Amino acid sequence: MSTDDVAVMTTDDAWRLLDGCVFGRLGVSVHDDPDIFPVNVHVDASARTILLRTAEGTKLSSLAVNERVVFETDAFTSRVGWSVIAKGRARVLVGTDEILRADQAPLQPWIPTLKTQYVEITVDRISGRRFAIGPEPERIVS
Amino acid sequence: MSTDDVAVMTTDDAWRLLDGCVFGRLGVSVHDDPDIFPVNVHVDASARTILLRTAEGTKLSSLAVNERVVFETDAFTSRVGWSVIAKGRARVLVGTDEILRADQAPLQPWIPTLKTQYVEITVDRISGRRFAIGPEPERIVS
């Protein structure tokens, strides 16, 4: 893979892009059966956390079995794109104080339903890549 | 969760949306450590398969350990959105005939690098949801 076409971001750059992000995809896995959910988030780059809100359901039941999660967000035009991947551990907020703090976060729900459970991901690994989009070089047929 | 705000698609509708899709996210998991990769795809709805091309690397090494994968694609405006999730088993194409067939697929590489390995996902489960986006109903503080 040519590094002219894919540029690995610094961790700071990846956090900067993640910091403005309000929407992405949560990847979870139960017994190595991976699943993805579109989610709204609030990112706190200084605390290295990603907050999301969810109703009871598959997402929460996955977290009870396996707290390892991955969050992905990306943006692209027809010419350039980027993707940031943040991995970490998720937990459901249960303390009154932390729930009240989470209530203050500018967390836009993607859908107007009542979602009373907060999940906070503590990020321990982040990576990001920028892409230049174009035709593939000719493959040599051997 | 109110069904006015989230509408579950029929399987046919989900395939119809997936069929036109050229870009999405591949979710994999190794030892319950989930990961997500942005990928270009070619969907063959009649064969119930999703084709992607990849260089040697993390995606391929994950598949060698665990063939269960999930593919997600979505689209949204400020008012409405949809998301389709397809789950299945992935395998690297190794036969000359199937590789030559894959070479004919209109598979746009997202990035102009040389990627000589094809991965085909045989979908065994698909689901899709449509969302109306708006403010959350007032939460009752008990």
Task: Tell me the mean pLDDT in the region A115-121.
Answer: 85
H or E, element range at A13: helix A11-19
CA–CA separation, A63 vs B18, rounded Å?
Answer: 27
- What is the average pLDDT across B16-24? 92
Closest CA to B23 of A25, A13, A109: A25
Q: Which residue matches tokens 């009542």?
A: A114
- Taking CA–CA distances from B130, the nearest residue in chain A reads A111
Distance from CA of A37 to the nearest CA of B (A): 8
Interval B67-93: pLDDT, tens: 999 999 999 877 788 999 999 999 999
Place of tokens 């459901």: A92
Residue B94: both structure tokens together? 């190794």
Out of B72, B134, B135, closest to residue A36 by CB: B72
In this predicted structure, which of B13-17, B28-32, B58-62 has the lowest mean pLDDT?
Answer: B58-62
What is the pLDDT, as a whole number, of residue B114? Answer: 63
Mean pLDDT for chain A?
A: 85
Chain A (12-51) residues lying within 8 Å, Cβ to Cβ, of chain B? 23, 25, 27-36, 38
Residue given tokens 């707290």 in the structure block: A67
pLDDT digits (tens, 9 = 90+) for B47-66: 999 999 887 677 777 888 89
CB contact under 8 A, B110 and A87: no
pLDDT digits (tens, 9 = 90+) for A31-87: 999 999 998 899 999 999 999 988 767 777 788 889 999 999 999 877 788 999 999
Per DSSP, helices labelled H in chain B are: 11-19, 58-65, 96-103
Beta bridge partners of B87: B70, B125
pLDDT at A25 exceeding the cut of 70: yes
For domain B6-132, the CATH class is: mainly beta
pLDDT at residue B141 above 60?
Answer: no
The three-state secondary structure class of B130 is strand
pLDDT of residue B18: 97
What is the distance in angstroms between the Cα of B52 and the nearest Cα belonging to chain A? 14
Task: Quote ipTM for the complex.
Answer: 0.86
Single out the residue of B45, B46, B56, B43 nearest to residue B107, CA to CA.
Answer: B43
* Least Cα separation, residue A133 to chain B (angstroms): 5
* Confidence at residue A114, expressed as pLDDT on a 0 to 100 scale: 62
Q: What is the predicted pLDDT for the residue at A40?
A: 87
Q: Which amino acid appears at position A16 of this protein? A: R
Chain A residues with beta carbon closer than 8 angstroms to that of B29: 27, 29, 32-34
Residue A100 at interface with chain B, using a CB cutoff of 8 Å: no
